[in-house]
Amino acid sequence: MKQLIVGLLLSCMFTCTAQNKFLSYNMAKPIKKLSLDKELKEISGLSYVDSNTLLAVQDELGTIFQLNPNTGEIVNRIQFESKGDFEGIAKVGDSYFILKSDGDIYKVNKGIEVNKSTFDHNKKMDFEGLCYDKKNNQLLVACKESKKKGDKDEIFVYSYNIDKLKYNKQAYINIDRDQVDDDFKPSGITIHPNGTILIISSFSKSLLAITPKEKIIQKTKINMLLFQQPEGITIDDNGRLYISNEKKGINQNILIF
């Protein structure tokens, strides 16, 4: 896969009360809040499937949670592993893909057949975001940070070949951290229906939008009172944005914009 070198920060820093002009989201005013069961107090990954189903994982249990997207209620659980640090989830066809913080990706099929792929290119990377790139039939995997010397000043997104069940060796996206900010550490990734890649950072409380033309087009600071620990992000077919918060001061929830 061709490496995308993202090298240009076009504009502007928005305050947490400003409207996101590119994607037309008012990040200060969610249209709905879904309260979540205490089982999801450590919710770490979120994925929209259809009008009846959201998927979630939490970073302590090897369980797929199927949620009602209108209420946040847990409607089903699928256990694929006992414990682990799970950070992202996506559904492709009848298969579920779950990301572990060390880069391992679990493929879970119907009947609970489980296959596991490992990230072998750099053992010093910590991963926290996963989404399905339908246009290119691949997964995008966001690296929270790398402890490898020389990599600490970059933000990496890798692609994962669904057919071969393996990572592509070269990073799909890499961004100089100083073009965003020093404390931007991805915690979730998704793709808008218009093709824009969105990456959220729980650490810096900000949202990054990247165009398909390989340019950073916008970074938005988000309201720390609303987003105490935003870990999961996904978008439905109509462009509604869902962001999940782990419990930290306030109860675990999903905010919809």
Rounded-to-integer distance, Cα 85 and Cα 76, Å: 20
pLDDT of amino acid 22: 54
Average confidence (pLDDT) over 17-38: 79
Rounded-to-integer distance, Cα 70 and Cα 3, Å: 38
Per-residue pLDDT tens over the stretch 53-70: 999 999 999 999 999 999
Report angle CA 79, 55, 164 to the nearest 5 degrees. Answer: 75
- Answer for the pair 74, 66: CB distance below 8 angstroms, yes or no: yes
pLDDT of amino acid 177: 81
Q: 221 in helix, strand or coil?
A: strand
Confidence of residue 30 (pLDDT cuts 50, 70, 90): very high
Confidence of residue 23 (pLDDT cuts 50, 70, 90): low
**CATH code where residue 72 lies:** 2.120.10.30
Report whether pLDDT(156) > 90. yes
Report whether pLDDT(5) > 60. no
Domain hosting residue 179, numbered range: 4-256
| Distance set, CA 200 to CA 20, 177, 225 (Å) | 14, 14, 16
Q: Which residue do the tokens 């890798």 mark?
A: 158
- Answer for the pair 42, 58: CB distance below 8 angstroms, yes or no: yes
Ramachandran quadrant class, 193 (left: phi over 0; alpha: psi -120 to 50; beta: rest): alpha
Mean pLDDT, rounded, of the chain: 88
pLDDT of amino acid 210: 92
Nearest to 202 by CA among 158, 232, 247: 232
Per-residue pLDDT tens over the stretch 179-231: 888 889 999 999 999 999 999 999 999 999 998 666 787 888 998 889 999 99
Q: How many domains does the chain have?
A: 1
Query: What is the pTM assigned to this prediction?
Result: 0.89
Report whether pLDDT(160) > 60. yes
Average confidence (pLDDT) over 30-55: 97
